Structures are given as structure tokens and as C-alpha cells.
Amino acid sequence: MDRPRRVLGIIAGSVIGVGGVTFSVTMVALTLISGQYGPKVLRDFFGNNHSKVTLGLFLGTYVYALIVLSGYGAVDNPRLTVLIALFLAFAALIGFVNFIHRTAKDL
């Protein structure tokens, strides 16, 4: 397996792993908080556009990496597509930090 395929596989795996764990832990925390403060906390969280954009970044990066990885042939040279995937992964990382900051600030 050559380097671009490994990079795309690592990006896809890490983005879906970090995104899944982050949103799962957030849902557990929101469930516990809503038990004490009421369901308004959940409505505010799901109505927040920042959490939707962050989830979209994670899922979009994952899907993009999988599509590029599946269409990548042995003779192709996907430098641009790997750079785009790296840019999307960096954007997802920034969105992750912003998501954690906003969630901690709002709760």
C-alpha cells in the first residue's frame, strides 16, 4: 500500500473515531444535565448551528476520504485530493476545538 492510500485511510479512520467518541460523550453529558435542568438544555444544543456544522465537518471529511480512497487506482497520483483531505481534517480539528469550547461554555 502506498503512502497516499495510507494517509487517506488514516484520515478517514481518525476523523470518524474522534467524531464518534466526542459526540457520544457529549450526548451522555447532556443526558445527565437534562435530568437536572430539564429538556431545554437538549433543545438548545440541537438547535445550535455550531454543533451541526462541526458534525457536518467530521462526516464530510470522512465521506470525502472514503470516496477518494475507493476511486484511487494504482497508477493515479492523488496529490491534490490528499491535500484537500488534509485541509478538511485540519478544518475538522478546528471545529472540534470550537465545539468543545462552546459546549463547555454553554453548559
* Domains in the chain: boundaries: 3-106
Whether 91 shows a pLDDT value over 80: the answer reads yes
Burial 28-39 (b: 16+ CB within 10 A, else e): eebeeeeeeeee
What pLDDT sits at residue 76? 67
Q: What is the pTM of this model?
A: 0.82
Residue 4 near residue 72 (C-beta atoms within 8 A):
yes
| Per-residue pLDDT tens digits for 23-81 | 898 888 888 888 888 878 778 777 888 888 888 999 999 999 999 888 877 656 778 88
The count of other CB atoms within 10 Å of the CB of residue 3 is: 8
| Per-residue pLDDT tens digits for 7-28 | 889 999 999 999 899 889 888 8
Whether 1 shows a pLDDT value over 60: the answer reads no
